[in-house]
Amino acid sequence: MNFITKISLLLVLIFTSCNSSAQKKEDYKKSIDSILQNSNPKFNGAVLISQNGKTLYSKVEGLSNFETKKPLQMDTKFEIMSNSKLIAATLLLLEVEKGKIDLNAPIKKYLPELTQTWADSVTVHQLLNHSHGIVDLQKPLVFKPGTQYKYGNLSFNLVAKIVAFSSKKSYREVAESLFKKLKMNQTFCYSPDKTQNLATGYFNAKNQLEPITTRQITDESLGADGIISTVSDLAIWNNNLHKGKILKPASYQLLTKNTILSQHNFFGKEKEPYGYGIRIIEEENIKYLGHTGLGDGFSSVNLYFPESDISFVAMENQMPEDADLFYITEFKIKNFLLKSDLIKKNNGKK
């Protein structure tokens, strides 16, 4: 075989390989497009998939406001609801790193205004993983702290207060200072006077959309459900948090450590590990971390696959009446990703 023939064959192989790779990339895009277009109820929101901080796939479908027919854009803002909890947990761990908070200390130490007897027994750690037993500030605990898991917003309302107590700043100031540092320019704590480009949330009752006119977010609940963001900004958050750019390695390990088991339908029928405002899942032999958010006519999903360094973020400004339909489109995309070459071929590679 002469030199020219060898070069020709090599060029054919390179072209074929590149063409095959491009074809596979287009295939996964077409597959996700198909999931979005065939969703029922119709997907109305934004999706972004990124790897190593670079966007692989992004798409918006539907309207920001159905009354004015304003279309959604990639920079449309959404209420992320319970995906706010991971941010609050991270802010608290930054205070731990400064030596200002002891995770094993009773919350009374940082919330001296609490007069309930249980404030001397519930620890900061137990607030962060929902094992505290508090259901109402005026009622007794429903179980001994640390013995069970019971999800709720109240604990992260208290987490935000502890961050404010420790930092001697408002929770809003602390959170928005971090967002600015990370260049999450579209992310902030909800305020009635900062609603520019914020989508309207809708309740979807049998494909009849009703705008939500009252919000569950209050100044007291910013740590639990009060963050406004975009799919692009949450991808920035993932790329910083999971790459060691916010927390020290020891703190990140605390954040993502299996401290208790809990069940959530989006992540499966079995109880799975829960850290601090984040779930740690292994499915199809692939590990991923993430959380969901729901309320005020909004839903959000934020997942990170560490072995392939891929983020999947989705936000919608509609909330179905039927609980079985919560996150239905996001669930299908997650399952597609778990089986795709996008995740599997990168699994174990950095």
pTM for this structure?
0.91
Neighbours of 136 (CB within 10 A): 10
Q: pLDDT 10s per residue in the chain (350 long)?
A: 555 555 555 544 555 444 444 445 558 999 999 999 999 999 999 999 999 999 999 999 999 999 999 999 999 999 999 999 999 999 999 999 999 999 999 999 999 999 999 999 999 999 999 999 999 999 999 999 999 999 999 999 999 999 999 999 999 999 999 999 999 999 999 999 999 999 999 999 988 999 999 999 999 999 999 999 999 999 999 999 999 999 999 999 999 999 999 999 999 999 999 999 999 999 889 999 999 999 999 999 999 999 999 999 999 999 999 999 999 999 999 999 999 999 876 665 44
pLDDT at res. 4: 58
The pLDDT, as a whole number, for residue 206 is 85
CA distance 293 to 225: 8
Say how far apart CA 336 and CA 46 lie, in whole Å: 17
pLDDT score of 2: 57
Structure tokens at 174: 């602390």
CB 164 within 8 A of CB 177: no
Q: Look at residue 5 in the predicted model and tell me its pLDDT.
A: 57
Q: Give me the numbers of helices (H) and strands (E) for the chain, helices first please.
A: 10, 16
Q: Structural domains in the chain?
A: 43-57+64-343 (3.40.710.10)
Distance CA 119, CA 146 (A): 14
Phi-psi region of 299 (alpha: psi -120 to 50; beta: other; left: phi over 0): beta
Contact in structure between 147 and 295 (CB atoms under 8 Å): no
Strand-pair category, 227-229 with 78-79: antiparallel
To which H or E segment does residue 83 belong?
none
What separation in angstroms does the CA of 153 have from each of 37, 226, 347? 33, 11, 34
CB neighbourhood size of 163 (10 A): 27
The pLDDT value recorded for residue 19 is 45
Q: Is 146 left (phi over 0), alpha (psi -120 to 50) or beta?
A: left
Q: Round to whole Å and give the CA distance between 186 and 80.
A: 12
Output b/e per residue, 174-209; b: 16+ Cβ within 10 A: bbbebbeebebebbbbbeeeeeeebbbbbebeeeeb
Residue at token pair 């029922």: 40
Separation in Å, CA 253 to CA 89, 218, 232, 275? 12, 31, 25, 9
CB-count exposure of residue 2 (10 Å: 0-12, 13-18, 19+): exposed
pLDDT of the residue at 16: 45
Which uninterrupted H or E stretch holds 58?
strand 54-61
